[in-house]
Structures are given as C-alpha cells and as structure tokens.
A and B are shown apart, each in its own frame.
Chain A
Amino acid sequence: MKRYQVYLNPSSISVLDEIEKIIGVSRSKLIRESTDRYAQTISNIISAIKLRHRKKSSLDNLIGIIDLKTKKKTNYALKDDEDYLID
C-alpha cells in the first residue's frame, strides 16, 4: 500500500468515525474497502468496453431457449409486475 493525500467530505468522515466507534473498523480501512469496491466496479466496466466483442457472442445462445407449446403469440415480456405479487 502507498500513502495518498485526498480531500474528503467532512460529513462522510464523521459517519465513518461513528461506524468505527460502533463496529471497531477503522476509518482508513472503511475508505480503503469502499475505494477498492468502486475501483473494481469501474474496472469491470472499462474492461467490458475495451473488449472487442466478437460478432458471434455467447449471448446469441439466449435466443429462443424457451419453446412454448402454443400456437398463439405471447407477451410475457410486458407482463405486469403486480401479477407476481399475488400469492
């Protein structure tokens, strides 16, 4: 690890100090962990952008995987969320 100097929002730091008192995890560890998590997410996005996607993709295998035994057209894609809440 290397030492860096950064400007941070005082209100966020007071929250981290409060957390430190309650769960005993240091402010610097919390900052390190949240920075690591954010950097990981951003790096996933960057690597997805950099990857030259092939014309044949494994997403192609998703097409038509559910074959319904009906002759009628269906519209499950726009089925209302409320239908799933009725138990």
Chain B
Amino acid sequence: MKIFIDTSVFIGLFIPKEIYHQEIILKYREYQEQRVPFFTSYYVLAELFTRLIYDFGKKATEKAVYEISKSIESKALTVLDIEEAVFKKSMLILLKFSEHKISFTDATSYVLYKDFSLDEIFTLDRDFKRMSLRTSF
C-alpha cells in the first residue's frame, strides 16, 4: 500500500489545536502499524511551506522544514518530482475538473496518484473524493 500525504494532513499533524488533529494521528498510527511507505510531492511541500510562512512565520516554518528534511533523509518520506510530462497532464486535469475549482497542486497529485498507482491520498480535502480518488477519510 502506498500513501500520498497532502498539505492538509501535514498541517493537521503539526498543530495540536487543529480540530482534526486526533483523527489524523489515529489514521497515521493505523498506517504505521501496516508499515506503509509515505509519499508526497515537491508541489505539496511548496504549498505547505507557503502556508506555514504566511500563517505562522519563520520559527514554525523552520521547525517544519527541519523535520521534513530529516524525514526525507531517513527515507520515512519519499518526495515525487513534478517533471514536464506530469506538469502537462496536470494542466489537462485542472481543466477537466474545473467545476470543482481544484488547486493546480491537487491536479499534480491526481496525476501522480494515477501514474504511480498510489493507493490512498492521506488528506482532509474533499476535492480528491470528488475526483474519484481513494482517500483516508
């Protein structure tokens, strides 16, 4: 089983005051019991770091950058690249699901999910369900 982590889950995991924090931890522990590999993409991380710097400033972003880098180095998290072919397919997906107003990052995640036969998107975002992808919640 291959799990793709989306921006919303990273944020929910970071902040204990988040309303879905406990649910995310429970699901994370469940995955961990199954020893599944976790994936994300450079676009998800770009979106995440932008949100962190806007909402919580330098100190919080520094912590997140440090811990995520450590997770990548230890191979607990694998980051997928958005190369030209993925980028081009994502433009078509963005237009295909235009009525749902998905973000371009979500479109790239959709393409990675399909291209690399990922099993679930670990997300709180309902847009992925609307695009008929399997999600954690």
The chain A residues found within 8 Å of chain B, CB to CB, are: 37, 41-42, 44-45, 47-49, 51-53, 55, 57-59, 61-68, 70, 72-79, 81, 84
Query: Is there contact, CB below 8 Å, between B51 and A76?
Result: yes
CB-CB under 8 A for A75 and B19, given A57-B32, A66-B64: yes
B7 neighbours in A (Cβ, 8 Å): 77
Instruction: Give the distance in Å from the alpha carbon of A41 to the alpha carbon of B78 in the complex.
Output: 10
**Among candidates B11, B55, B76, residue contacting A57 with C-beta atoms closer than 8 Å:** B76
Task: Select from chain A the residue with minimum beta-carbon distance to B77.
Answer: A59
CB distance from A38 to the nearest CB of B (A): 8
CB-CB under 8 A for A58 and B71, given A70-B17, A77-B124, A84-B50: yes
- B35 CB within 8 Å of chain A: yes
Task: Select from chain B the residue with minimum beta-carbon distance to A76.
Answer: B11
